[in-house]
Structures are given as structure tokens and as C-alpha cells.
């Protein structure tokens, strides 16, 4: 086993010169170049929030089907907005929304996002994070949509950005795929859709240093690199697999293959472990934070430089407003942000708008290459990859319309005043 791995390392090492050159040209030498912290001080989330709207939130509805729950918020003046609760077991989160979130939102000014977010967290202090944040995300994102529709601006524009096409990385979610098949499928997507970056899965999710099968990771990385060529950006995600020593060993192999981004190398709650890996790997960016939803923990992670790239998930962290707060903290620390958006539900739409506006946005938006039935026919227009880019929907609010048919086929619950 050990000999085989050494051989693979050697093969990877032979190709390393050319690959690293390509990577440097594409990404800048070494780690992400820190952003000037002076410049960062000028960007404030609170300055982006709406002022008094003169309206009050009258109803909160959830529409739940499969892994998803869509939220519709309506005001006393008839204005409405659509948002989305975090996917997966969304029926549980929808119940949390009606029981634990709605009482702090109904009757409030829909523009009072700072107060609404804070109250929902404070009043649920016995039920911290996870499901409260998953549910809060549905309300917060619906309120941003509502404001955009009232002001006839896309969310991206509300945040000071301009809707445009952004580069995406094709994100593989598969660990059951063989290295050969993964390499073939990524090369085909490069040719058909113009992707210029891909992310592959290494190790096993929360895998305690194990792999999907022995040697898969060491075979996958060079096989994919050979198939896609030296000029395609390659990212890797370990989903909390490794102890620091193993993560550093795998990370060096990734570096030798021109990988520029190593995501969640260690169990995500082990911030000190991740920080060790970040400090040890000089040529790639360690990324993380998709599961983190406590802003105080975010502050600590950023302060200790646990990672090089912050990846809040708009839905897991509790909505766009809390994502922006993470982005602001990261910006002030000179750290880039690439939100986690691992499926084609509304979360990728949310990420596109955020990435079009935040000053410390990384280069690529995450865009899954997997076909999940449960995100089909949810909204229009559907997102499309052209020349490796996806357009930020430019119409008011999130710029997409939730399918009436989808809403009618989902389970509806309503809270109102």
C-alpha cells in the first residue's frame, strides 16, 4: 500500500512543474492574496440594510416538498417575497419556522432585518443554531426578495453589485464514482459547458482518515488532472475526513497536482486542527465553514486564521444577512469568501447575488454538476452554464419565479397576525 502510494506521489511529482506554473498563472502565486484591510473598513453590512418600509409582515407561509421548503412572506400592503429554508429535512425546519421564528417576525417591519435576525437568535438561546438558523434563512431570504421587488432592484443591486455572468466551478458530489469515470465526466463537461474549474471529493465524509476504498484519493487526483489538463483549476473537498497529519500528507499530494483549494480537511468543529493544516500548506488555500452558523465561532475561526477561504452557506448560516456579516468579518481580516452552494435549489441563486456584490468574493461560485430530482422545476428561469459562467438573475429580488405548479404540489402551512 505504502509503496503504491509513493509511486503515485512520484508520478504526480513529475508533472508538478507544469501544473504549478498553470496554477500560478491562473490563481496568483501561493495562497490567496490578502485584501487590504484599510479598504475593507469602508464596507459595512448595516449600511446595506433597508430603512423603515412603513409595512408590517402579515403572513408567513411554507411550502414543503421532498428536501425543500419555500417561504412566502406577505405584508399588510400586499407586497410579497419568496425565500428558502435550508434543504434536507426541511419539514423539520418548516415546523421550527412556524413555532420558533414566526412569533418574532409577524407584525414587524419587513426591512428590519438586523432586529429580526438578532431577536430570532436571542429568543431561541436554548435552541442554538442548526434548525433555528435553517428556518431563519427562509424568512431572511424572503425578506430580501420582498425588498428587491418593492424597490425594483435585484438583491445583487441592493448590495451594491451589478448582475452579470460569474465564473462557476463544477462541483462533484460523488465518492462512489471511479477515478477514470470522474476524469471522463469532468473533461466532457469542460468541453460541453466551458467549465474552467472543478471540485472533486477526497477521503470520506467524517471518515476518520478512511477513503471510499483504499487508494481512491491518491489515484483520483492525478487521473483527473491528466484528463482535464494543466489549465483547469482543480479544487478538492475532504468533508471533515482527516486528522491534521493525514490532512497535511494529502494536502501536499494535492499541491503536487496543482490543486488550489483544499476544503474541510479536518472535522469542521476542530478549528485548531484545521488551523494547523492551513499553516502547514503553503501553496494551496484551505477552505471551510459551510456547516458553521454561530457568528461568534466565525469570529474566532477568522481571528485564528483557521482557513484561507471562508465558505458560509446562505441557508445553513441563517440567511443572506448573516452571510454578509461573515463576509464583513472575513473582509476585515483580509480573507476571501466563496459561499457553499452544493445544489441547484435557491441556495445557488442566493450565492450568485452575494458573490456579485461582496468586496471579498473569491473567483468562482460553487455550482453542482449532479442532477438532483428534488431541485427540478423549482423556479424559472433555470440557471445555465455558458462558457463556464452562470448569470446572476437580474430581475427584482432574487430574479427568479418559483413555479406555481411546484408550490401547489407542496404541503402548505401558514402563520399570520
**Chain positions contacting Mg ion, by CB under 5 A:** 237, 263
Can you tell me the distance from the alpha carbon of 129 to that of 296, in angstroms, rounded to the nearest whole number? Answer: 11
Closest CA to 104 of 155, 57, 65: 57
DSSP H or E segment with residue 71 = strand 68-75
Q: Which of 142/235 has CB closer to Mg ion?
A: 235
Q: Which of 173/417 has CB closer to Mg ion?
A: 173
Can you tell me the distance from the alpha carbon of 241 to that of 24, in angstroms, rounded to the nearest whole number? Answer: 27
Nearest distance in Å: CB 167, Mg ion? 18
Query: What grid cell was written down for 228?
Result: 482535464
Task: Please name every residue paired with 69 in a beta bridge, in sequence order, or none if there are none.
Answer: 64
| 170 Cα distance to chain centroid | 13
Q: Which of 295/342 has CB closer to Mg ion?
A: 342
Q: Which of 198/379 has CB closer to Mg ion?
A: 198
| 3-state class percentages of the chain: helix first, strand second, coil last, to nearest 5 | 45, 20, 40
| 63 Cα distance to chain centroid | 23
Q: Which of 230/288 has CB closer to Mg ion?
A: 288
Closest CA to 73 of 87, 85, 62: 62
Nearest distance in Å: CB 197, Mg ion? 15
Provide the 8-state DSSP code for 67.
T
Can you tell me the distance from the alpha carbon of 251 to that of 269, in angstroms, rounded to the nearest whole number? Answer: 19
Q: Which of 7/210 has CB closer to Mg ion?
A: 210
Could you tell me the CA-to-CA distances from 175 to 47, 167, 169, 220, 226 in Å, in that order?
43, 24, 18, 10, 19
* Minimal CB distance residue for Mg ion: 237
Nearest distance in Å: CB 261, Mg ion? 10
Query: What grid cell was written down for 354?
Result: 452575494
Nearest distance in Å: CB 376, Mg ion? 23
List all residues 6 or more positions away from 327 whose beta carbon is below 8 Å from its beta carbon: 45, 310, 312, 337, 354, 358, 360
402 phi/psi in degrees, rounded to 5: -70, 135
Angle, in degrees to the nearest 10, between helices 2-27 and 244-256: 60
Q: Which of 61/292 has CB closer to Mg ion?
A: 292
Nearest distance in Å: CB 290, Mg ion? 5
Nearest distance in Å: CB 402, Mg ion? 26
Provide the 8-state DSSP code for 30.
S
Nearest distance in Å: CB 335, Mg ion? 17
Q: Which of 236/329 has CB closer to Mg ion?
A: 236
Nearest distance in Å: CB 239, Mg ion? 6
Task: Please name every residue paired with 103 in a beta bridge, in sequence order, or none if there are none.
Answer: none
Dihedral sign, Cα of residue 108, residue 63, residue 381, residue 383 = positive
Query: What grid cell was written down for 288?
Result: 471551510
Nearest distance in Å: CB 278, Mg ion? 16
Provide the 8-state DSSP code for 211.
-
Q: Which of 53/171 has CB closer to Mg ion?
A: 171
Nearest distance in Å: CB 243, Mg ion? 18
Q: Which of 267/393 has CB closer to Mg ion?
A: 267
Amino acid at each position: 500500500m505504502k509503496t503504491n502510494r509513493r509511486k503515485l506521489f512520484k508520478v504526480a511529482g513529475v508533472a508538478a512543474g507544469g501544473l504549478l506554473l498553470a496554477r500560478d498563472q491562473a490563481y496568483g502565486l501561493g495562497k490567496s492574496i490578502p485584501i487590504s484591510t484599510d479598504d475593507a473598513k469602508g464596507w459595512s453590512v448595516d449600511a446595506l440594510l433597508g430603512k423603515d418600509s412603513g409595512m408590517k409582515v402579515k403572513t408567513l407561509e411554507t411550502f414543503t416538498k421532498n428536501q425543500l421548503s419555500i417561504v412566502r412572506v406577505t405584508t399588510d400592503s400586499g407586497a410579497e417575497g419568496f425565500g428558502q429554508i435550508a434543504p434536507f429535512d426541511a419539514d423539520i425546519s418548516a415546523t421550527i419556522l412556524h413555532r420558533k421564528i414566526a412569533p418574532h417576525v409577524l407584525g414587524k417591519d419587513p426591512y428590519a432585518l438586523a432586529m429580526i435576525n438578532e431577536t430570532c437568535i436571542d429568543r431561541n438561546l436554548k435552541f442554538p443554531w442548526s434548525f433555528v438558523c435553517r428556518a431563519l434563512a427562509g424568512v431572511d431570504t424572503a425578506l430580501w426578495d420582498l425588498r428587491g421587488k418593492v424597490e425594483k432592484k435585484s438583491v445583487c443591486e441592493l448590495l451594491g453589485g451589478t448582475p452579470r455572468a460569474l465564473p462557476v466551478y463544477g462541483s462533484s458530489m460523488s465518492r462512489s464514482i471511479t477515478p477514470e469515470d470522474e476524469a471522463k465526466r469532468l473533461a466532457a463537461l469542460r468541453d460541453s459547458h466551458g467549465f474552467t474549474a472543478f471540485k472533486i471529493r477526497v477521503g470520506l465524509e467524517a471518515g476518520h482518515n478512511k477513503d471510499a476504498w483504499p487508494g481512491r484519493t491518491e489515484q483520483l487526483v492525478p487521473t483527473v488532472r491528466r484528463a482535464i489538463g494543466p489549465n483547469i483549476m482543480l479544487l478538492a473537498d475532504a468533508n471533515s475526513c482527516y486528522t491534521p497529519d493525514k490532512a497535511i500528507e494529502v494536502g501536499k499530494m494535492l499541491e503536487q497536482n496543482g490543486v488550489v483549494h483544499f476544503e474541510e480537511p479536518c472535522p469542521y468543529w476542530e478549528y485548531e486542527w484545521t488551523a494547523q493544516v492551513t499553516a502547514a500548506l503553503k501553496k494551496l488555500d484551505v477552505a471551510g465553514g459551510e456547516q458553521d452558523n454561530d457568528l461568534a465561532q466565525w469570529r474566532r475561526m477568522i481571528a485564528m486564521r483557521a482557513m484561507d477561504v471562508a465558505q458560509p452557506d446562505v441557508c445553513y448560516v441563517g440567511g443572506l444577512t448573516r452571510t454578509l456579516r461573515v463576509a464583513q468579518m472575513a473582509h476585515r481580516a483580509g480573507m476571501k469568501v466563496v459561499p457553499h452552494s452544493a445544489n441547484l435549489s435557491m441556495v445557488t441563486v442566493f450565492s450568485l447575488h452575494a458573490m456579485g456584490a461582496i468586496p471579498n468574493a473569491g473567483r468562482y461560485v460553487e455550482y453542482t454538476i449532479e442532477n438532483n430530482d428534488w431541485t427540478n422545476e423549482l423556479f424559472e428561469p433555470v440557471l445555465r452554464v455558458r462558457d463556464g459562467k452562470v448569470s446572476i438573475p437580474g430581475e427584482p429580488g432574487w430574479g427568479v419565479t418559483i413555479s406555481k405548479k411546484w408550490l401547489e404540489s407542496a404541503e402548505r402551512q401558514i402563520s399570520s397576525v
